[in-house]
Amino acid sequence: MTKELSDLEKSLLQAKKAFLTTANRATKELDRQRKRLRREINQANNRAKRTRMQMQKKTERLASSTAKKANRELEKQIKGLKKVLDGAKEDASKFRADLVPVMGDLASARDHLAHALHIDRAMAKIQRELAKKPKAKKKAAKKKVAKKKVTKKKVAAKKVTKKKVSKKKATRKKAATKKATKKRVSKKKAA
């Protein structure tokens, strides 16, 4: 029996250790993904800012230039920059959408890790309690006190009198019910 318990304890400790390492690994991986996606979002936002600035400068140049050829070129460039800006905005929105499930997975992984650590602390507390020496048992003499047996006398006369009283009450009730039924029957006949 003790061998089975020790085997079970070993397997429990191995499973706990494996769970903790897996939870730590998952948490670190999800944290890396979160950081990578945040970095990509920042890069996309910076690209969008740069293209917006370039677009503003080119529109200012377009307003100041008078040549038609220059206007056409600048308009083409502005269209291209608008496409780049739209692409950067789309990329940023996609990255934000990708970040949502990663953040959810990260939160659940952190919860699992906290739960595993809580279980680990509880197991350690139980092991400490089991390792403590059991308290000395109290003496048996203090627990059990011998009582003297007292014989009680049976009173048979009282039981007999109670039975007679109950019979009288029953006969009185029967007589009362007979009178009530006679009155009802006589009323019915009169009607």
pTM of the predicted structure, to 2 decimals: 0.38
Sign of the alpha-carbon dihedral angle for 33, 36, 38, 44: negative
DSSP one-letter string for 162-179: HHHHHHHHHHHHHHHHHH
How many Å separate Cα 162 from the centre of its chain? 64
Q: How high is the pLDDT of residue 98?
A: 84
Read off the pLDDT of each residue in 168-183 and give the average, rounded to a whole number. Answer: 55
Provide the pLDDT confidence category of residue 39 given band limits of 50, 70 and 90: very high
For residue range 40-77, list pLDDT tens digits in order: 989 989 988 998 898 888 888 777 766 677 777 888 88
Token representation of residue 45:
């936002």
For residue range 106-143, list pLDDT tens digits in order: 888 888 888 877 877 887 888 888 888 666 555 555 55
Buried/exposed 155-182: b ≥16 CB within 10 Å, e otherwise: eeeeeeeeeeeeeeeeeeeeeeeeeeee
Provide the pLDDT confidence category of residue 104 given band limits of 50, 70 and 90: confident
88 and 47 in contact (C-beta within 8 Å)?
yes
